């Protein structure tokens, strides 16, 4: 696989802030997806809720989740296009994070079915989702505080032989794989410019650094689809550009990104497609420029919440 990545490296523009330091970037997963074609294909998609996409990686049907009398999520149909960045936005309490949990099987819907890459994942336990190639991060960053940065990274690798109880006491069985994982983790840390924190406890990192670590750790899974729950929450502005660069970098390597976000600047800047939720339902879909003009979206934001950061004039 390493060779394959190296082959693509020459073609892929460097992600992130404008730095031409030589990144040994082949630690990053690379998927054979024509990103330009995937993005332009979206121009054919109608701007309506539940619109079908030319090449969906994730499809959900009739997903309903109730908490007692409250219907938190009630989504008839939604598709996420492969190889693009899709934003999931909506006022507070719209059910974005709940839908996110349902799509990653961290929560079980009352009804509904979900397909990932054409495979039904309804009965798949949460811990097996990573093995399907879908990995998520969390709204409240889950850096593993009392483990070092490099331990956090190495944890992300899947199919580790040393993770079985009986093999674990015989390092000879897993030492080689462990070294490979470690060098991949080190390369990713260099790519995310975190190599100097390698041996620090993750608990000592700042909020933004933890977000970066969580994203880097997720990439150790070599996912096809990355789900980011509020990647910008609590990140200082200095780090924002670098984080945005990393997110677009994922797309440019053929990964599909779905993210929940409140920050409309970020949504306008990097997303290829926007899905808007309100009161558990999807009320609008379209390219980022179309959303501010959408009457349903305007009503949802102005009607339900005044603390939202949505600036309707911007970018429209």
Contacting residues for 135 by C-beta, under 8 A, at least 6 apart: 129, 218, 221, 223, 225, 226, 227
Q: In which region does residue 16 sit, left (phi positive, over 0), alpha (psi from -120 to 50) or beta (all else)?
A: left
Restricting to residues 154-173, which ones interact with other proteins according to CB under 8 A?
154-156, 158, 160-165, 167-169, 171
Q: How far apart are CA 256 and CA 4, in angstroms?
A: 19
Told to check if 104 binds other proteins by CB under 8 A, we report yes
DSSP letters of 3-23? HHHHHHHTTSPPPSSS-----
Told to check if 220 binds other proteins by CB under 8 A, we report yes
**CB closer to other proteins out of 181 and 264:** 181
Told to check if 136 binds other proteins by CB under 8 A, we report yes
What's the closest the beta carbon of residue 37 comes to other proteins, in angstroms?
A: 30
Q: How far apart are CA 242 and CA 99, in angstroms?
A: 27
Q: In this chain, which of 125, 199, 237, 295 binds other proteins, going by CB under 8 A?
A: 125
Q: Which range, of 2-10, 108-116, 129-137, 299-307, touches other proteins by CB under 8 A? A: 129-137
Restricting to residues 185-214, which ones interact with other proteins according to CB under 8 A?
201, 203-204
Q: In this chain, which of 8, 77, 142, 193 binds other proteins, going by CB under 8 A?
A: 142
Buried b (16+ CB within 10 A) or exposed e, 193-211: bbeebeeebbeebeebbbb
Note the residues at the interface with other proteins (CB under 8 A).
Answer: 104, 106, 125-131, 135-138, 142, 144-147, 151, 154-156, 158, 160-165, 167-169, 171, 174, 178, 201, 203-204, 217-218, 220-221
């Amino acid at each position: 696989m390493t060779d394959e990545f190296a082959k693509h490296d020459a073609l892929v523009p460097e992600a992130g802030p404008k730095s031409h330091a030589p990144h040994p970037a082949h630690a990053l997963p690379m998927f054979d997806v024509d990103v330009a074609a995937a993005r332009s294909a979206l121009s054919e998609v109608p701007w309506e809720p539940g619109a079908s996409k030319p090449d969906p990686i994730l499809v959900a049907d009739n997903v309903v989740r109730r908490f007692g009398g409250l219907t938190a999520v009630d989504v008839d149909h939604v598709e996420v296009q492969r190889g693009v960045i899709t934003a999931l936005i909506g006022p507070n309490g719209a059910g974005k994070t709940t839908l996110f949990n349902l799509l990653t099987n961290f929560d079980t819907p009352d009804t509904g079915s979900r397909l990932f890459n054409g495979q039904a994942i309804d009965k798949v336990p949460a811990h097996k989702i990573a093995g399907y190639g879908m990995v998520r991060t969390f709204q409240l960053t889950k850096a593993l505080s009392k483990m070092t940065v490099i331990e956090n990274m190495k944890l992300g690798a899947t199919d580790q032989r040393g993770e079985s109880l009986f093999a674990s006491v015989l390092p000879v069985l897993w030492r080689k794989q462990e070294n490979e994982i470690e060098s991949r983790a080190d390369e990713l840390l260099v790519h995310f410019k975190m190599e100097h924190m390698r041996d620090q406890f993750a608990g000592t990192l700042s909020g933004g650094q933890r977000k970066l670590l969580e994203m880097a750790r997720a990439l150790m899974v070599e996912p096809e689809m990355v789900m980011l729950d509020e990647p910008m929450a609590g990140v200082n502005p200095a780090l924002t550009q670098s984080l945005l660069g990393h997110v677009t970098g994922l797309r440019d390597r053929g990964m599909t990104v779905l993210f929940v976000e409140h920050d409309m600047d970020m949504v306008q800047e990097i997303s290829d497609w926007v899905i808007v939720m309100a009161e558990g339902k999807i009320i609008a879909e379209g390219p980022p420029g179309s959303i501010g003009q959408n009457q349903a979206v305007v009503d949802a934001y102005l009607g339900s919440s005044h603390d939202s950061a949505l600036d309707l004039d911007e970018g429209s």
